[in-house]
Amino acid sequence: MSSIGARLREERVRLGHSQTVFGAVGGVLKQAQLKYEKGERYPDAAYLEAASRIGADIQYIVIGIRSDSVLAPDESVLLARYRVAPQSSKSAAQAALSASFAPAT
């Protein structure tokens, strides 16, 4: 399993920010951001709260499990519809997605 620092870096990259910018959002300098990502230091709650305001998945950073709250709008709609769909529709959706990723023969 990846570390908090690795997941923090992953979220920063996913959001398209440099270490300098992401650190500034959390109120720290680039050097502190670098230490967080290397696992030499850990961010505090105020830093994590600030990062959440720009879209970082704090649950993922801390425990390694993605939160539904950071889904893109189209993903949220898809997930909401999937959750209330009958099993036959869920099976069809899974089959369609699986087929689109099938290796070419």
Range of the domain at 47: 4-69
Query: Are 61 and 25 in the same domain?
Result: yes
Query: Are 63 and 76 in the same domain?
Result: no
pLDDT digits (tens, 9 = 90+) for 67-100: 876 667 788 788 889 999 999 999 999 999 899 8
Q: Where are the alpha helices (DSSP H) in 1-105?
A: 4-15, 19-25, 30-38, 45-53, 58-63, 73-84, 87-100
Which CATH number is 36's domain given? 1.10.260.40
Query: Are 54 and 13 in the same domain?
Result: yes
**Number of domains, the chain:** 2
**pTM above the 0.85 mark?**
no
Query: Are 55 and 75 in the same domain?
Result: no
**Is residue 105 assigned to a domain?**
no
